[in-house]
Structure formats: structure tokens, C-alpha cells
Structure 1
Amino acid sequence: NLLFEEIFSEADLSLLDELICQAETELERKFSDKAYCQLVIYLATVLRRADQGIDSLDLHVDNMKKSIEFSTAQQIVERLEQELDVRIAPSETDHIMLYLLGAKVIKTDHSRLNWDKSHAHVRHDKLYLVAAAMTDEMEKLCGTEFGKEKRRIVEDLTTHLRSAVYRVKYRILQVNPVYVEVRNKYNEMFLRTKQVTGRLEKYIKEKVDVQEISYLTMHFVAGLERVKQITHDKTRIILVCGTGIGTASMLAHRLMNEFNVKIIDTVSCRGLGLVPKDKYDLIISTVDLPGYDQDYYLKVHPFLGEDDYKKLQQRLNLRFPSANKVELSLVNRLIGIVEKYAEINDRQQLQYEMMYEIKRHNERRMERRFEYMLNDLLTRETIRLNLSCANWKEAVAAGTALLEEKKWVSSGYKEAIINNFTEFGPYMVVAPGIVLAHARPERGVKKLAMSLITLQTPVNFGHELNDPVKLVITLAAIDNETHLKALSQLMEVFMNQKDLDTIVNATNKDDVIEILKKHSK
């Protein structure tokens, strides 16, 4: 707080806001709220350095001084010098340019790019061509065609890449707040995105980290959701997102895929006040909106958790009953296969009978299904505290050993987890200090199980952001569903810093079990 007051004590925030808004207009993009705050803080810091006569480090970016971002940075510096009568070191312009290049955006002004002949050069932009090539490859990997949505996907991807390229090149770390959810829910899509990202890495001659790949994954997931979209009369929605275009885009299209909604616009908190109230029926936001009536505003998590769906279902209509939608999709795929090899005399009757059989099958399966809670899986027998492990392999072995003792997994499960780390890198280090170790069910899982160990001395798993690790959770899943409730409750523990700290620093199992019990509801 003292540092914050020191930086902003003499800063003219209204001037900084005006300059950032002008930069958005000049660059034809809207910064996310997080990027806006970072720019305000950085410009205030620039003024502070100028006041004290401190020069910043030369970045040697002469090859980028013809960019529109550099021109915009120059305008900001010139305006600050004129308005506040200060001299700002020339190298500060380079730093501001990189902030503008690396700032995440909530949307771009597509209205100023009509893609007609006068703008044909945009399609020949090298980064646009890279995005197009990535999208082409993704179509092949997914075995689908994006159709009319393809241009939109490439445009949004290009917008994201313009800032991502400079974050990668200049080591500007950008942690995705929903990285864990992306890996849990869309891991296959993540691995495909990792493959197509090779084209970007070849172009920029740099390795792209998993956080950036998870953002790119969200763009492709959003594109696939749009392809599936069916239009209806919809509730008009204004979507407020404080992070960036990838998060906003995927949330928008999950909403459109699940509910009868029309996304009127995607805005930042700052832009919400400019939207006339008669243009929308409901605001859905991923951030708090003080001062807004809750009759017109819902706050949700970007990944729409169980509680979010309950809130949304109270206010919005589902596009289809969810069970029928899944069953009908499966039936239509099966009928498509049948039609390749046989003539169907009565398609509707066949569709009905197949729906009926699938419904009966699902009902029988649900009768046998039990929903496991977190404290059903993490018990006194599968918890060990303050173990001593020399390295990450010993930590993985200690976690799986608790399950091997119960014969819930075979010895091969440990090797499968280690092989995953070796082949794919430390993606299972899901948060600072936390590993969620797992492998495929067929690699030795005999029963749904989970273990929890804490380490006396943290060890490194090779993750540049989340090392060292002190908490190791080992999950042995038998399918894609039965562990989801417990896993969701585990994520709630991770997001509760007080409870997480208690577990990590616990010296007796009772404290851990009490917290697990609290979240198992």
C-alpha cells in the first residue's frame, strides 16, 4: 500500500486514463481491465522515474520503431511531457510500446476492417497467414470444418497473437487464471493446439509456454462452439470480462451453446457504462460490478461451474434439455454411419427407437452410478504429511505408493505418470506449489482413488512459474465422469488460500480431514 501511494501520490489519473483511451482508439482495440490497470501503473511509474531523473534500460528494439504501437507510445510520451512539463527518457517510449504490444485485449474494432479490396493487404500480413495455417491444421486434427466461422477464428487468433508474440519474445509472463480448467476439460484440444503452435514457434523462433498455449486453446474451443451454434430468439446479453478476448470469447460461446441468448457486446468494466440500458436484458460478468442492480447482473466464473449453471438456469432458458441434446447428437451420428451402408426406410422411426434404447441404457447406468465426494476419496489412509523426498520422481512415487498399498492401482501407474512428465513437461503442476499427478485409466487403475501428500522440503518439477512443489495430489480415475465432483471440490480447496495454507502446513491429519469435509458438500 505504501508503494502504491508513493507511485500515485502525484499522478494525474484522469490524464493517464485519457491517454490509454486514445491509444485504444489509435490501435483499434479495447484493452482488458487487467491490461488497463497495468498500463496505468506503468505510466505512473514512468512519470515517477522522470521526476527523479532515472533512465530505464535500453531494449534495443530499433527494428520495431515503424510499428503503430511505437507511434502511439510516442504520442503518449509527448502528451505527458507537454501536460506535466517533465522530460521522459527516450528509452521509456520503447517500454511503453512493449506494454501496448503485450497488453491483452477484450476485443478489436472489426468495423474498421471490412476485408474489402482496400484492406486486402491485411490478409497478407505474415502473422495472419500463420494464424490461418494454424487454423487449417486444427481443422484436420479435429476432423471438422469451421465453415463460415473460419474467418472469424483466424481474425480473433491474429488479434491475440499480435500481443502474445511480444510477450513470448520479451519474457512477459501472462498466467491464465483458468489454466487448470482448460487442462481438465479440454486437454485433448490443448494437445492439438500445442501441435499447431509449432507453426507459430517456427515463425517467431521462440518456444511458446503452456500458459500461452492454453489461451490459444480457448480461441479454438470458442470457434468449435460457434460452429455448433443454432440461432433462436434469445435473451440479449452484455458480457463483461476483466481478463482478455480469449476468456471472453470462450465464455460467450459456451453461453450461446447452452442457453437461448444473444451476446450483444463484450466489454470491459470501463466500457459498460457506455452501453444503453435498452440494448440488453441482462449483464453477465466475470468480475464484481459495484453499483449495478442484481436484477440485471449475474457474476459467473469464466468456466461456468455448477453453481453458475444453477444461477443462469434461473434467469435463462436452455436451448435444449441437456440429456436430449446429447442423445440426439449421438443418434444422428449413428444414423449417418448407417446411411453409408444401408437404405433407411423411415428415418424418424429409427431415430425414435434409437433414442428410446439410449435413454433406457442411461437410466440403468445412472442407477449404478455413485457420486463420489472429495472426502470419500481422500481419507486418513490416503493422506501422508511432511514426507521427505529428494526429487520429483520420489514425490510421484510417494503419492502412488499409498494407492498401490491398497491395490487400487498397479505399479505401472507410477511409471505412466513419470512418463507423462517426461514426454509432455510439467503441465500437471497446476498451481503454485501444487501437483495433480495422474495418467490414463488403462495405465493401471483398478479403482477410483486419490491420495494427498505434503513434502517436508519442496521439490522442483521443472515448472518455471509454479515450482517448487509442496503438495502432491495423485488421482486415479476409472473413466471421464465419476471423479468430476470430487475434482471440482478439490479445485475449491485450491482457490481458498486459507484452507490451502492449512493443508500445506498441517502437522496432523485431523486438520486436513476437517477442511476436506467442509468442501465435500
Structure 2
Amino acid sequence: MTLDKRSVHILNLFLDRDDFYTVQELSKKVGISRRTVYYDLKKINAWLSEHQLEKIQQQKGTGFYLKKSVKAEIPELINELDEWQYFHNKEERLALLAVKLMTDSQPLFVKDFMSLTRVSRGTVFSDLKMLKTELGEWSLILTYQHTDGYIIEGKESTKRSALVHYATNLISKDKWNDILLNINQISSIESKNLRYFNQHHLNQMKTVILNAETFLGNELTDETLHFLAIQLLILQQRIEQGNRVSVEESEKEVLKETKEFEAAYWISGQLKAEGVNLPEDEIYFLTMNLLGSRVNHSDYNEAKTEEMMELKKVIAKMVTDFQKYACVMLRQRNELEETLFTHLKPAYYRIKYDVEIHNNLTESVQEEYPEVYKLTAKVTSHLEALLNKSVGEQEIAYITIHFGGWLKKEGKRPKPRKRALIVCENGVGTSNILRVQLEELISSIDIVDNVSVRQFHQQSCSDVDVIFSTTPIQSSSIPVFVINPILNEKEKEYILRQFNLLSTNHDVEDANSISELINLVKKHATISDETALFHDLTKYFNLDSKEELKEFGKPMLKDLLTVDMIQMKDSVSNWEEAIEIAAEPLLHQNLITSDYVKAMISDVKNLGPYIVIAPRIAIPHSRPENGVNQVGLSMLQLKNSVSFSEQEKHKANLLFVLAAVDNETHLKALSQLTNMLSEDSNVDYLINASSKDEVIGLVDKYSN
């Protein structure tokens, strides 16, 4: 017997896997039902038996696996099969349908798509429905006519962007050589119409682009080179099929002055030698794509066109606002602006000319650096104002990488994250509530799963660092925290203490002993600052707690802006006095030194009223090394505003003095403060508040 394409694909998955596959995993990877997975496994085992090889093994409660001795025999047998084809998952099928629709000049019907993807009629209809939704996001319309079949309608430039997107998704896969080989073997697609699915043609076009770097005066990134080669082959194909773009005359005048136009003109000459004539508008269209291409460096000082000078101003505003919102002062600001220019110059043209960008890091950036991403999204408003266009998530993610990298370059390395498991006997709903509480409490953990007590005893937990359980359980090697499903403040404090010591490689018993000692002291004396006492006792007993308990978990706004950090006054003599008074609570608790107050005043004198982030609001701050002992935040309310300059916009009624120990610890609290102050009604409320409790009530509302 011979194996079909899907069975060979499943068999190859086992060859590439050293451990087990569950039926659920195989179902998701291959895009078939569990029932079909079992059917295919039975077919594969029959084929293995026919070749005197051991079957795919099953271990109860774990999954299926293939023995190493069997793996060694299979590749040669697969090569001897009469026929095998790559089996496409849903994402690849949608990309194939889109490419087929935008490259074939003949009417296309369901039977053509069935032949292309080798799936059932029902699956094709399902895929077409999903593709129609995706194309709608490009402002493209998938329509069906009885005589002409399925067609995609919309602007030619948009079609090309979508075609680049789908083609790149296919070619960027880990096993793209296998995909390309089988695409070109499918009879319903003529390989002559799909040069970008041919390695030889791709390499030829890459050589042309590499030679054009002389005109660009710059080096393209490897990813960009590959991406441009696909774009250029698609452009060539669309022209041959009679599809054209048009560029406005006013835009041509601007494009003609760029080095990228010289490169595009030279490339057109190379293509002409191959028998391909690019119309004038297509050369300008190619120029747009070259302008939007990422490069390894840009000459900041040489970029002096009016357009680029405006972009430099925008970058300066973005850096200023980022420092303002993040309350950090970057030592090498000029170098950061030049680095950002290298990225933002092509990004500017991508956004301006609607050039497709391929960024697989967007989701991971949003998940790993949420605070920095949020601040970056805020400052990109300057770029949006310049272009009168919105900046997409993918572009924001790239800019976030630059800002985040710079923060780390000038600050501390982030703490290593720990993997945690929740064991809960009360069901999924309760465990999810607990999960939210723990993730809010400790920002440096990743909760990998919620399981029941029975599931806990049935599976291995060797890949987690800590377990949170709502019922007593035993684990020989992993610390277990037994907690209630709904945490009160005392329990949260207890968990933070234990977790803090765990993170510094000390036993949980150390935390218990310190907690017990503090409780003993409380019986006979009043403790004014329990957190500070915990910190000092930890140091006294040589437990080497290097950071404050609250700092480890990235404190929330309510952790920093407490009642004793709030002051209310009618007026002050001048802005210098305002800063001095606003900083007093931080000084009294030794969170800052007097040098820090002097530094804040000096910075305003030297740099101007940069601390006034919005009308009526100022956030005085300076660098950590100027006298910060511990992260902190204080507030001064003034009924009568104080002026930081002669301009009306630099008057402030609310001063929030920030003491940051590094470039990251304070970001969560600052983000919550920014959210609170973004509402004019909240600003009015804070200015008119008659008691500290009113302020605390609003602070608690935004400390989520």
C-alpha cells in the first residue's frame, strides 16, 4: 500500500518530534477532526507493519510517539513512495486561494480550489467565507458570478499589497521548500505565472536588487531583500497580465528627487534587458516600495529634504513625550533619535504609500512589553498627525522594540520570569478568578495552566517553578503556595513576601520566619511602615533581598500614592517651592534625598517646563542616580495654579513627584496614573477634592 499526502504529513510530524503528540495537538496542526486523526494513525500503523516496523506507540495519559529505531528507517521508505504531497493547513489554504485568485486570468470555480488544496467542497466553501472576511480588511471584495466564477475586486495597488502578504506568508514557513515544490507540482497552477514560488527566479531578482544597493547608498536587511524580491516578481507578473497602477503627478515630483528613484530606474533597465518593460508609473510605484524598505542604517545628517526634516522633528517630539510619559531621562537621547530615524524613515513611506509590512513579532511584543507598547502607541500620535494616517499595530511593535531596547541599554536587566501552575478544586471559573488576581499581583510570573487536583496527580509538573493551590497538596521539589480562591490584602502581602524570597533563591520558611517576627512586634508596638521593616529585617538576616517587595511585582498606583503621600494647599510662591513641598513626603520617608529635589529644579531650569505634561498637570522627576533610594510617588494639590513659564499651558494645579529606581519598575503605576489623568473630569475632581480620602477613592478605581 501507499500513504496519502495527509498520512505522510502526520508521519513527518512524528519524525521531527522527540516526545509525545496528543490527538488534540495533531488535530490542530493538521486541521482535521480527532476521529480522522485516529483513522490516519491506523492507516500509518498498517503501512509500518507492512514494512516490518513497529507501530506508533501510545502511552496512556500522555499521547503517541515513535521509537527512535523506527524513525531511522522511515525517511528512505518515504522517498520510495510513488506519490506524496505536502498537506496544507487552513492558513496555507487561505493564502493559496488568495494567490490563485489574484494570479489566474481564467474564471475560477469551487472545483478549481478543490483541485488546488485537495480538500472537500464543504471545506472550500468554509475557506472562501473566511477569506472573504480577511480580504474585507484590505478593502477588497470577493464576489461570485455564475459565468465568471470567483473574482477579487478593488484597487490594483491594494491587490498587490494583499498578494505580497499572502505569498510571503507561504514562503516564510519553516518548510517552505516543501510547500513551494508541491505548489509548482499542482497542475492547476502554472509555475510560469508564479515566479515568486520558484527559488531560481527569487535568487535572480535578489541579485538585481543587491546590485541596486549602490544607488541606494545603503544596505538592505536580509528579510527586506527577500521581501522585495517577491514584491518585484509580483509587480512584473501583474504588468504582464495587463494590470497597472497610477501615481499622481505631484507625487512623482517628490519621488523623482530620491535615491530610491535612481535605484528603481536602474532596476527597470535590468528588467527591460530581460524583455520586461516597466511603464513610468510602475517605476514610481517601485520607488515607493524601495522607500518603505528596512535598511541596516541611515545617514541621519545627510537627510535634509523638507519631508525628512519634518520627520526628524516628529522623532524629537516622540522621544520627548516618551521620556515625559515614562518619566525617564535618557542619557544618549541624540543617539536614540538617530537610531529611530533609521527605522522610521522607511516606516514613514510604508504608511504614506500603504506598503505592506511583514512583522511576526507584533503579538509577542504586545504580550512581553505591554507598558512600553502602550507608551509607544501614545507617542506615535505625532507620526499620525504628520501623515494624517493611523499607525498600525505592526509598525508600533517595531518602534516599541527600539524604545524597549534603549530602556534596557540604559537601565537594569529584567528579572527572569517564573512559570506557575494553579491547582483548584472549585472548577474553571474559580481558577480563572484566581489567575487574574495572581497575574495582577505578580507581574513576573507566567501561569502555564489551571488544573484540577485529579489532573495534578495524573500529570508531570516538572516544567513549572511554583504551584498555587486552593487545597493542600504535596510536591517533593516544587514550592507550593496554599491560598484562598479570593485573596484579601493580607493574603496578597503574604504571597508577595514568600514569592520575593523564592525569587532570590531562599526558602519559603525564611519568609514565614520574618512574617512571624513582624506579627510578634505588632503585638507590642505600632509599625509605621511594615514593608520597609520587612526589607530591613531581610537584609539584617542576610537574606539578600535586593529590591523592595512591592518593586518586585511592579507596584500599582495605589501602592505608591497612599494617604501619607498626598498634600493639599491653597497656593505657593513659585514653581520651585511647589516642587520642594510636593517632594516632602518622599523626603520624610527617605525614598529620596535632598539632592534629588535640587536635581528636579535644576532640570527644569536647564531643559524648560518639560515636566508639565498637560494643562494643570506636572510630573517633576529626575534621573535615579540623582538621589532615589526607593520607588515612590507623591502628590500636591493646589487650589491656585503655579506657573512654570509665562505661557498659560504651563500652569499646574496638580504636581506628582516621581522617584524611579530604574526605567521599568514604575511603568505600571505610571500607566494607571496616565489613564486617570486622561479624563478631564478626573482632573477637575482631583483639583476640587476637599479630602485625601476622595483622592484615594479615585486612585483605587484606576489601580487595576
Give TM-score, length-normalised by structure 2: 0.32
- Bigger RCO (CA 8 Å, 6+ sep): 1
Radius of gyration: which is bigger? Answer: 2
